[in-house]
Amino acid sequence: MQQKEKEILNLIKLKNEEITKLKKELNEIRTLSITEEEREKEKIQREKTFNGLSAKEWAMLSRSVWNDVSSARKEKHISHGATFPQKLAERVIEMYSKENDLVFDPFVGTGTTLFAADKLKRNSIGIELNEEFIDYINQEKNNKQFQIIKGDCLDKIKKICNESIQLTFTSPPYANLLLKVQDDRTNRHKHSKIVEDNNSSAKPYSKDIKDFGNMSLEDYSKNVLKLMKKIYLKTKPGGYNIWVVKDFRDSQNNIPYIDLHSLIANLGEKAGFKYHDLIIWDQNEQRSLILLGYPSVFYVNQNHSYLVVLRK
């Protein structure tokens, strides 16, 4: 039975990949079949827009729920444990910046934002505390022009010029919440498939006290606010600041829901940004469902993240 299930899941995955490929081909055919007049019209539109998109591209990218941004994970992604897909970074960069703009990631990890920015001809700067992750970036950097700064983003951000950033795109650590959730899961479900099946590879990034992943929620909030204020100063008027976060439960302390995305949005607003938009990144296709609270309390699986879009 399990074998049959695996076969079907594999088949679904292959079919989905096929559909994505066909959609891409269809788009290419449509692009090729547009008339010279339409091409000229699109060129004029691209020159007018702040992000270099035509009206059609603009409309196509304006969905509020995304389920088509996963990309294959390499060894470095698995080893880091909390990277986002390059496709996700590329989509955001295409929407909120244009060629030669400056893109910034204060928690750059394995450099996903930098590689995406380079592919789309944007300049970019990333800060990372953990040397191990910087090594991953350098292994693949070759002659790419982006800049990596080692150290604490709260301090190193001073190296960036005021009002120079068009887009900040980042996924921050989640205070020490992730560790609590991980402990809890491992202790309660020691030998169960719940832990294995959920691909839960969350682990501390470092032992450094400056690591946002080692802070209590209270210290974390204070430091995120400090960072938001500094990002505000460095952002161009009209520029964007987008944080990818997931909401949580802390069942050890009997807290059923921690609304992290609202916390981030509020701290951004306190720092001066406008809460501009909220995008849902649906990850149900990439995650197995786990049994939560059974048989007495019903919880849903939080299989999505939020992109909190702030604007100066």
Ligand X SMILES: C[S@@+](CC[C@H](N)C(=O)[O-])C[C@H]1O[C@@H](n2cnc3c(N)ncnc32)[C@H](O)[C@@H]1O
Which spans of this chain sit near ligand X (rule: CB under 6 A)? 80, 82-84, 107, 109-110, 112, 127-130, 133, 152-154, 171, 173, 205-206, 210-213
CB of 47 to ligand X, least distance (A): 32
Let me know how many helices (H) and strands (E) the chain has, helices first. Answer: 12, 10
User: Which residue's CB is nearer to ligand X, number 53 or number 133?
Assistant: 133
User: Which residue's CB is nearer to ligand X, number 45 or number 70?
Assistant: 70
Q: How far apart (Å, rounded) are the C-alpha atoms in residues 74 and 85?
A: 10
User: Which residue's CB is nearer to ligand X, number 109 or number 239?
Assistant: 109
User: Which residue's CB is nearer to ligand X, number 53 or number 157?
Assistant: 157
Biggest alpha carbon distance in the chain? Answer: 64
Q: Which residue is nearest to ligand X (CB)?
A: 109
CB of 92 to ligand X, least distance (A): 11
Angle at the Cα of 92 from the Cα atoms of 90 and 94, rounded to 5 degrees: 65
Helix (H, G, I), strand (E, B), or coil: what is residue 239? strand
CB of 10 to ligand X, least distance (A): 26
* Strand arrangement of the beta sheet that strand 165-170 belongs to: 65-66, 274-282, 304-311, 235-245, 165-170, 102-105, 123-128, 147-150
CB of 78 to ligand X, least distance (A): 11
User: Which residue's CB is nearer to ligand X, number 54 or number 112?
Assistant: 112
Pairing of strands 65-66, 255-258: unpaired
CB of 103 to ligand X, least distance (A): 13
